[in-house]
Amino acid sequence: MEAILNSASSPSDLLNISDSSLPYRFDRIFTAEGFGARRLEKKRLRLMKGIDPLLKSFLAEGEKVDFVTWGVEYSFAEQFFMGIWAQLFNRRALVFTDRRILILQISSRHKVLDLKMQIRFQAIDGFAKRTFGYIGLVLRNGKRFLITGMPGKDRKAIRSILEERIAATRADAPGVGIDNLCPRCGTKVLDYPDRCKQCTQAFKSGRKAGWLSLAFPGLGDIYLGHRWLGISEIFGALIAWAAIVAPVTMATLEEGGPWIVPAGVAAAIFAIVHGTDSWITRRMGFKGIYPDK
CATH number at residue 108: 2.30.29.30
Asked whether residue 195 is assigned to any structural domain, the reply reads no
Least confident of 32-41, 161-170, 250-259: 250-259
What's the alpha-carbon Rg for the chain, to the nearest Å? Answer: 23
The answer to whether residue 191 is domain-embedded is no
Element housing 246 (H / E) = helix 246-255
pLDDT band at 1 (very low <50, low <70, confident <90, very high): low
Question: SS3 for 276?
Answer: helix
Any idea what the Cα angle at residue 13 is, between residues 7 and 18, rounded to 5°?
Answer: 100
Q: Which helix (H) or strand (E) holds 152?
A: helix 152-169
Q: Are residues 280 and 224 in the same domain?
A: yes
My answer on whether 14 and 81 are in the same domain is yes
For the stretch 215-249, pLDDT in tens is 999 999 999 999 999 999 999 999 999 998 888 88
Task: Assess whether pLDDT exceeds 80 at residue 136.
Answer: yes
The answer on 256 and 170 residing in a single domain is no
Domain count, the chain: 2
Shared domain check, 233 and 163: no
CB atoms within 10 A of CB 226: 23
Q: Which domain holds residue 139?
A: 2-181
Per-residue pLDDT tens digits for 51-69: 999 998 999 999 999 999 9
Q: Has residue 149 been placed in a domain?
A: yes
Rounded to two decimals, the pTM is 0.91
- Contact status, residue 230 vs residue 277, Cβ threshold 8 Å: no
H helices of 25-144, in order, are 26-29, 37-58, 76-82, 84-89
How buried is residue 105: exposed, middle or buried, by Cβ count under 10 Å (0-12/13-18/19+)? Answer: buried
Please write the tens of the pLDDT for every residue from 94-129.
Answer: 999 999 999 999 999 999 999 999 999 999 988 887
